[in-house]
Amino acid sequence: MTRLYDSQKRILVTGGAGFLGSHLCERLLGEGHDVLCLDNLFTGTKRNIAHLLGHPSFEFLRHDVTFPLFVEVDEIYNLACPASPVHYQHDPIQTTKTSVHGAINMLGLAKRLRAKILQASTSEIYGDPEVHPQTEEYWGRVNPIGPRSCYDEGKRCAETLFFDYRRQLGLSIKVARIFNTYGPRMHRADGRVVSNFIVQGLAGEPITLYGDGEQSRSFCYVDDLIDGFIRLMDSPDEVTGPINLGNPVEFTMRQLAEMVIAKVGGSSKLVHAPLPIDDPRQRQPNIDKARALLGWEPKVALADGLDRTIDYFRGT
Ligand code: NAD
Ligand code: UDP
Ligand code: UDP
């Protein structure tokens, strides 16, 4: 719908009260946009957006993306979906519905409005990968019927939908494959490794290393990731992705645990717990595409990002 009086860009962020969504809303408001934050508060909290609620260009809408949505916006960032394995496996059927019905509804909205739409996809598209580091051309190794499948296959189907809406209907789409991202506003009980280790370390409790701790991940600080999102949304129409966004510096979980213990200065010991089913052995993004097409690469080293995240958890 053509607007009569206002030149501010109106941007919808689904999952806007979550970890990444709340940082994205804050950043978009800071850039002068009008932000509609949508969330069903499954894993997100009002606390994450409490500081934004009084802002004249910010609006919160409690809504579930599996139901149709009729609003008027210029751009859509589709982040709604639980991201922690503990959360997405809590109600796996709802997880698939959120990814698939959510994508259909948001693409339908984008189609009606001719709005640009960005999908928060994931490195889980690659499953437990045989190609290392992972490039966007790699099709992945995903178990279609395991406990992680609701998330992995849901996100894969969402990517399919995005590309079919592009091919069939000419929509302007952007697909970001996000690798493990951490930072302030992860939930204390989120269950993901960085928040778990920090919360355990600060409390002087044992650090739970799943399996032998030799599996690897590559951790991106939230500010870097948000910068990548915005560059991708603002890129030329032909830049659709999928594009890897993550920090290519790889660590084992044992190294991460040792770093956290050294930083919090606590007395925590490492304890071993069973490795979750289908837990990927290794994960590291190849970010050549993001460098070339978006001029993007992460700036915050894990040591610095951990300091900021530890400060946050000390204060909560
Ligand atoms: P998060 O759990 O903190 O945020 C997800 C948000 O979506 C929450 O606020 C939750 O309440 C909301 N939500 C869930 N289901 C919904 C529904 N049906 N309708 C409306 N809202 C719903 O997780 P996050 O880390 O901020 O992840 C955001 C997005 O980024 C997710 O799509 C996730 O898959 C993707 N992602 C994140 C990472 C990461 O490392 N943080 C990595 C890969 C992909
Ligand atoms: N949709 C929505 N908001 C809109 C337009 C569509 O939520 O502004 C939903 C609609 O309910 C539908 C889905 O998006 O289920 C897909 O829409 P599309 O137009 O692609 O498909 P169709 O309605 O033709 O099945
Ligand atoms: N992990 C761990 N201890 C924990 C939580 C996670 O050792 O308390 C491991 C987990 O098995 C995985 C890695 O840390 O190998 C990253 O797990 P996370 O749940 O953060 O995300 P994933 O990348 O598996 O989606």
pLDDT, one tens digit per residue, over 190-205 is 999 999 999 999 999 9
Query: Quick one: pLDDT at residue 265?
Result: 86
In whole numbers, what is the pLDDT of the chain averaged over residues?
A: 96
Which ligand has the shortest distance to the CA of 114? 2
User: Does the annotation count 151 as an active-site position?
Assistant: yes
149 in contact with ligand 2, CB cutoff 6 A: no
229-267 pLDDT tens trace: 999 999 999 999 999 999 999 999 999 999 999 999 878
Catalytic residue (choose from 77, 88, 126, 151): 151
For residues 150-168, average pLDDT: 98
- What is the arrangement of strands in the sheet containing 58-62, beginning at the earlier edge strand? 58-62, 34-39, 10-14, 75-78, 116-122, 173-178, 243-245
Read off the pLDDT band of 309 (50, 70, 90): very high
Rounded to the nearest whole angstrom, what is the distance from the C-alpha of residue 229 to the centroid of ligand 1?
Answer: 14
For residues 172-182, average pLDDT: 98
Of 65, 105, 106, which is best to mutate to test ligand 2, by the most ligand atoms within 8 angstroms of its C-beta? 105
Select from 197, 195, 215 the least CA-distant residue to 206: 197
Rounded to the nearest whole angstrom, what is the distance from the C-alpha of residue 235 to the centroid of ligand 3?
Answer: 32
75 in contact with ligand 1, CB cutoff 6 A: no
**pLDDT greater than 60 at residue 2:** no
**pLDDT greater than 90 at residue 7:** no
* Cα gap 121→303, rounded to integer Å: 26
108 in contact with ligand 2, CB cutoff 6 A: yes
Closest ligand 2 atom to 113 CA = 8
Read off the pLDDT band of 4 (50, 70, 90): low
Of 104, 107, 168, which is best to mutate to test ligand 2, by the most ligand atoms within 8 angstroms of its C-beta? 104
pTM above 0.95, yes or no: yes
